Structure 1
Amino acid sequence: NPKTLLHTDAVQGLGTFSARALGADFVTVSAHKIGGPKGVGALYIGPRVRNPRPLLAGGGQERGLRSGTEATAQIAGFARAAELRLENRARDRAHLEALHAVALEKLLAIPDMVCVGAGTAPHILSVSLAGWPAGNIVNDLGSQGICVSAGSACHQGKPSHVVAALKLPKRVAAGVIRLSFGPGTTEADIDACAQALRRHRDTRMPML
């Protein structure tokens, strides 16, 4: 139906697209994904949307779309983070692409480690230590100060529907973890993660 309005959660891609070119009628983004403060985001409303109604009625702030006192400091921080991301976009992308390649090489050198998916985004990598449960990996590495994820942040504690949709072999699906890189990530961070994953594989028993 051409009259249907489309919303896109684009927090992972902020800084890599034009909201108008994306074609969605609503686009949500969040500051913390680009190094800004947590707790502040933005909503793009496209030209097809007529008279959007607020969820919270009241003082009429934000042109009547969202009542309540604006978080001025957070908004200013979001704006500055966006400026810095645009200024350094080419440099940051080259850095992330290099880290992605290094991480892939080091991780796939670990026995039983496989790459999941064929995505080209330079800031994220999904792999599986086939046979070793992802939850155990997350806990083990977390105790060493290394943060990895077994699924998306918005579905924490639940099986990933994305992994399920890939229809991976059971051993591979059980060990899927996600690594994210940022401009501040270093090759030393990648080395520490690879070493911790290798130790986990060598000292823990596979479950499947």
Structure 2
Amino acid sequence: MGLTGRQKEFFLFIKDFLDEYGYPPSVRDIAKGMGVASISSVKKMLDRLVEAGVIKKDSSKARGIELIYHQGVPLLGRIKAGTPVFSEENIEGYVDLAEKFKNTENLFCLKVEGDSMIDKGIFEGDTAVIKKQPDISEGETGAFRINDEVTLKTFARKKGCVFLIPANKRYKSIRVTPADSFEVIGKLKLVLKDFN
């Protein structure tokens, strides 16, 4: 992208604001959010971002900023296909999925570790593309957080209980009890194979 550290901070502030509110920030929003007293300094920074080719700016609108730089889908670390492990949401890089998905909003990627999903063709080193969503249907595979650990499994409900089912006979299903902290992170949309 060729931005300085400060330019990158401004760009990421605009992107995060847009993601959170669904519309771009005003110049005043940016000044407040970035701790800048001078409106003219913000306008100069926006001009630099336009020159860098990462935003478009329509001066006739109060919120006339449009992002034109596309980094791809963030790779947020690793997910165990085996025993759940904590996944720190640090962006390790980006995966270009523009050819595979018309809309990449709400998508993120995790590198697969372990072998508990091999019968579904998901192997260590593969990249799991997950769509963030709060619920999932019976029989669908997804990413789940259980007691602050993240795992890739198939969702099942039996006799009122939730189970996370592996696709390898060597592993047992994980039963989610009322004492567990449990969250559906999202649904598995695609697996990218690692041929290295």
In the superposition, the TM-score normalised over structure 1's length comes to 0.27
In the superposition, the TM-score normalised over structure 2's length comes to 0.28
Which structure is higher in helix share?
Answer: 1
